[in-house]
């Protein structure tokens, strides 16, 4: 899938492409409703739409949502776009699949940035501000038997995410894919700023899947 990204919109990198492949392994059809939280360029929502599902993409960035609409038009696909944080734009709605590559890079800021391209990756001191909100809210927005797919780095705690998802009532929580390698450029930049310990050279980037009870 060839994507364009408007200035200020983060272009998808390896973790998003890995998650896109995982979406294609889900049993999606024309009756499936898929939500892409923190959509960015729209890769994940477009992948779901390409599988035949009814896709919704949310983001805090107006420019990101415009990018999604442009990419959908170019691909001949339909994606509903809504602006807001995590699940705010879809209050009261439920989906068969929720996917997200949220901002997860630790930063020197206490909270998430209010503006700028760094909103796509910075997520507070521990990198978990958006991820934790996603974990806590997913169960209320999944249909019975629906699934959540979320990707992030081992630097912010894969086991911590698994435990948090289980506490919300989601089941069959597991790592379904993982890639080990050197720190990416965003993590390296934060390491240079002193946010990440200097002795860490590698990370695992993992997809975690969790299900709503049927």
Using an 8 Å Cβ cutoff, are 103 and 16 in contact? no
Angle at 207 between CA 64 and CA 192, to 5 degrees: 70
Q: Which two tokens stand for residue 32?
A: 């499936």
Statement: residue 27 has pLDDT above 80: yes
% of residues, the chain, pLDDT over 70: 100
Q: Give the C-alpha distances (Å, rounded to integers) separating 181 from 15, 33, 200, 203.
A: 12, 33, 11, 6
Q: Which two tokens stand for residue 82?
A: 């809504």
Using an 8 Å Cβ cutoff, are 116 and 205 in contact? no
Statement: residue 138 has pLDDT above 90: yes
Statement: residue 109 has pLDDT above 90: no
DSSP string for 39-99:
-TTSHHHHHHHHTT-EEEEEES-HHHHHHHHHHHHHHT--EEEEESSTTGGGTT--EEEEE
CB atoms near residue 214 (< 10 Å): 8
pTM reported for the whole predicted model? 0.94
Q: Which two tokens stand for residue 213?
A: 């009870």
The whole-number average pLDDT for the span 77-101 is 97
151-206 pLDDT, tens digit each: 999 999 999 999 999 999 999 999 999 999 998 888 888 888 888 888 889 999 99
- Rounded to whole angstroms, how far apart are CA atoms 147 and 173? 10
E strands, the chain, are 33-37, 54-59, 79-83, 95-100, 142-153, 171-182, 202-211
Statement: residue 83 has pLDDT above 90: yes
């Amino acid at each position: 899938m060839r994507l364009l990204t408007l200035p200020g919109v983060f272009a998808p990198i390896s973790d998003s492409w890995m998650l896109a492949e995982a979406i294609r392994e889900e049993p999606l059809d024309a009756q499936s409703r898929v939500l892409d939280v923190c959509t960015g360029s729209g890769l994940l929502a477009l992948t779901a739409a390409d599988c035949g599902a009814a896709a919704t993409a949310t983001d805090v960035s107006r420019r990101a949502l415009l990018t999604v609409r442009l990419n959908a038009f170019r691909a001949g696909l339909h994606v509903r776009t809504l602006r807001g944080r995590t699940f705010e734009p879809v209050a009261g709605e439920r989906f068969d699949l929720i996917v997200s590559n949220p901002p997860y890079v630790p930063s020197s800021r206490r909270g998430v940035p209010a503006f700028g391209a760094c909103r796509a990756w910075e997520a507070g001191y521990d990198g978990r501000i958006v991820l934790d909100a996603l974990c806590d809210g997913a169960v209320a927005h999944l249909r019975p038997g629906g699934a959540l797919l979320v990707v992030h780095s081992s630097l912010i705690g894969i086991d911590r995410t698994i435990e948090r998802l289980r506490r919300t009532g989601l089941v069959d929580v597991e790592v379904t894919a993982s890639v080990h390698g050197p720190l990416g450029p965003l993590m390296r930049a934060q390491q240079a700023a002193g946010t990440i310990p200097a002795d860490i050279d590698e990370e695992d980037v993992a997809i975690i899947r969790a299900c709503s009870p049927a």
